Amino acid sequence: MFLKNMFNQTKGVSDMKNLKYFFVGIFVVSLFSMQSCTQMTQDVEKVKKQIEEKQVSFMENFNGGNAKASTEHYAVDAIVAPPHSSEVKGKEAIEKLWQSYIDMGKASVKLNTVNTDVSGNIAVVYQKFQFEATMPDGQVIKDNGKSIVVYEKQEDGNWLIKYDIWNSDLPLPANK
């Protein structure tokens, strides 16, 4: 009815009043939309910060030889897909995987976040890594590459890793 009256030429001044209210309404809706977008941006930045803190915690724990603490940021049903190996499912199996890397010798990893995208309850992190392990015999193993880590927001608001996959930038060793 409002639109019909607004475009009815016989109403004159009444139409101008309606048009004024229409534009005031559009303006108010726009303000709320801008505030909502600002809030979403703030929420995304907060999520990115939480994830960055989890990655720092992972590095500190892994480099300190603590596989259990390294695994605390994974969901119970998480899946890790290491290179040249079968996928590892579940938090307990993931802890064993990290322990096997730690047991190789003095191991350390460095993660460098390249990009984090957040959409709803999912966050995807693209990062670069550097890995080094000094074996008991003194041999040093080095690797570097990239990874994709998918975080999922839990019911309690915590962000946990759901999927973790990485691969090396180094070529495969030549067959001898």
Closest alpha carbon to 153 in 162, 140, 144: 162
For residue range 13-68, list pLDDT tens digits in order: 455 566 666 666 665 556 555 544 444 554 889 999 999 999 999 999 999 999 99
- Give pLDDT, residue 39: 40
Domain count of the chain?
A: 1
Residue 77 burial (C-beta neighbours within 10 Å; 0-12, 13-18, 19+): exposed
In a domain, 93, yes or no: yes
In a domain, 38, yes or no: yes
CATH number, position 129: 3.10.450.50
Asked whether the whole model's pTM tops 0.75, one would answer: no
Mean pLDDT of 140-163: 95
- Domain that residue 23 falls in: 2-168
In a domain, 92, yes or no: yes
Closest alpha carbon to 161 in 85, 81, 102: 81
